[in-house]
Amino acid sequence: MSCGCKTSGDSSHSCGTKSAIGCENVDTCGNSYKLSVFDWLSNINNPSQSKFDFVEVRFKNDRKLFYKNVHNLPLHIGSVVTVESSPGHDIGVVSLTGELVKIQMKKKRASEENPLKVYRIANQKDVEVWQQSRAKEESVKIQARKIAYALHLEMKITDVEFQGDGQKVTFYYTADNRVDFRQLIKEYAAAFRTKIDMKQIGFRQEAAKVGGIGSCGRELCCSTWLTDFRSVNTNAARYQQLSINPQKLAGQCGKLKCCLNYELDSYLDALSDFPSSSTSLDTEKGRAFCIKIDVFKKRMWFAYVDNSLAWHDLDVQEVKRLIALNKKGEKAPPLEDLKVQDIPTKSVDLIQESNIERFDRRNRNQGKNQNRRKNPTQQSGGNERPKQKSQSERPAQKPQGENRKPQQRNQDNQQERRNPNAENQNKPKNAQNQQPKKTKKKFQPKRDDNA
């Protein structure tokens, strides 16, 4: 339908994008957050025989209107219908039917007197004209921006919406001040040959239409699920102990972020237990005033008037006790004596991501293995001799000359010439009588091709 899929008129329409980011064009697709509707009364039979004959129809962007089904057409969610408009007719998609429409009309304060009518279920010709009009919207928006720039008007054309029959086009624009667009409408009427309708929107509505990714890494709330835009005040940031930094508190619309209101009630409930931030204490060392409040730890920082650089944190209950002492005319003890020493808790890094040397462990283990392979006499400095194994545990020894290098062999030969009996004196008695064991040569097993 209007999300760009080629399934116009299909009640079981789906663009196939059921991911977290929704549909690519957040217009009238059933998978977009703001326009999707869950009919929780669909499986419940209506106790009254008379059926509510109003339906909710959605159009491009977040525009929804209520129409009366005067011809008792078999409408259901997803039906493409042709509805009354001024002038001509418009085409939309039914988003809600039944008793829930009555609840929505009461919520939005829509009257049932002189309602707009549903003409018919859209035929193939209506849908083709509708799609052709929708295809021209992007080029018309670029051309409209050029005309507004040529007239030196301080405004921005945000979006363009064609009516279903193509007889009217609506231009959504944003501007800081009032704009005189009388000449602009004449230029648009001459260029586009249709009826022109100008509609000013706010910057938050513009961000909802354009969409984007917020500083939290998720899609903007106004373009996914947020429908009502409440005013956000800087007091919301002050209650949450945030620094008044416009670059961090402003969203993509240039206004304060809507998410500042989400946790404001929780902060107000927590701050109800705190004394006023303008609280001052009379102590024996002088007067102290409040500098900072920690809502989560329930602590307040105080500093003396004479020495404002030294901060002392106190518990909220302790501050209340000191305030009660001051009301009785008594001075509180010095803040240094009241401060409780916090015992630092040693954190255990299970994942060990904070350890810088976590990548060097393999090299350290290799070094340990190499040290183990060395002769134990080298590790102990040559002072201790290795324990002699029994004759059964000893491996088969080779002649000493085979494992030695040529230089070592020459040195040993010279020593033997000088003192031929030295080798026999150094050898233990068991080693002189021991003979090298003969080992049988093992052959590899033959390969069995039938295995």
Cα atoms in the Cβ-side hemisphere of radius 13 Å centred on 240: 17
**Is residue 140 scored above 80 in pLDDT?**
yes
The shares of helix, strand and coil residues in the chain, as percent rounded to the nearest 5, are: 30, 15, 50
**Is residue 148 scored above 90 in pLDDT?**
yes
pLDDT digits (tens, 9 = 90+) for 198-207: 999 999 999 9
User: What is the structure's pLDDT at 168?
Assistant: 93
Average pLDDT over the chain, rounded to whole? 77
Please name the amino acid found at residue 278. Answer: S
Q: What average pLDDT does this structure show over 112-139?
A: 92
User: What is the structure's pLDDT at 93?
Assistant: 93
User: What's the gap between Cα 119 and its chain centre?
Assistant: 45
Task: Give the least confident one: 12-21, 51-60, 186-195.
Answer: 12-21
**Is residue 402 scored above 60 in pLDDT?**
no
Q: Which sign, positive or negative, has the C-alpha torsion 298, 304, 309, 310?
A: negative
pLDDT digits (tens, 9 = 90+) for 301-327: 888 888 888 888 888 988 999 999 888
Residue 55: beta bridge partners? 67
Q: Are the C-beta atoms of 156 and 124 separated by less than 8 Å?
A: no
**Higher per-residue pLDDT: 451 or 277:** 277
**Is residue 438 scored above 80 in pLDDT?**
no
Where helices occur in 7-59 by DSSP H, the ranges are none
**Is residue 127 scored above 90 in pLDDT?**
yes
Angle between helices 137-150 and 182-192 (to 10 degrees): 140
Task: Give the least confident one: 9-13, 55-59, 263-267, 434-438.
Answer: 9-13
Length of the chain: 451
DSSP state of 337: H
Please name the amino acid found at residue 108. Answer: K
User: Structural domains in the chain?
Assistant: 1-129 (no CATH), 136-207 (3.30.300.20), 280-338 (no CATH)
Look up tokens 């039917």; give the residue: 97
Cα atoms in the Cβ-side hemisphere of radius 13 Å centred on 269: 4
User: What is the structure's pLDDT at 284?
Assistant: 86
Please name the amino acid found at residue 198. Answer: M
User: What is the structure's pLDDT at 126?
Assistant: 93
User: How far apart (Å, rounded) are the C-alpha atoms in residues 377 and 181?
Assistant: 97
**Is residue 287 scored above 60 in pLDDT?**
yes
Q: Smallest Cα–Cα separation from 254: which of 211, 204, 209, 220?
A: 204
User: What is the structure's pLDDT at 227?
Assistant: 81
pLDDT digits (tens, 9 = 90+) for 210-245: 888 998 999 999 888 888 888 898 999 988 888 888
User: What is the structure's pLDDT at 369?
Assistant: 56
**Higher per-residue pLDDT: 400 or 338:** 338
Q: What average pLDDT does this structure show over 87-100?
A: 90
**0.75 exceeded by pTM:** no
**Is residue 133 scored above 70 in pLDDT?**
yes
Question: 149 is written with which tokens?
Answer: 């720039």
**Is residue 144 scored above 70 in pLDDT?**
yes
**Is residue 30 scored above 50 in pLDDT?**
no
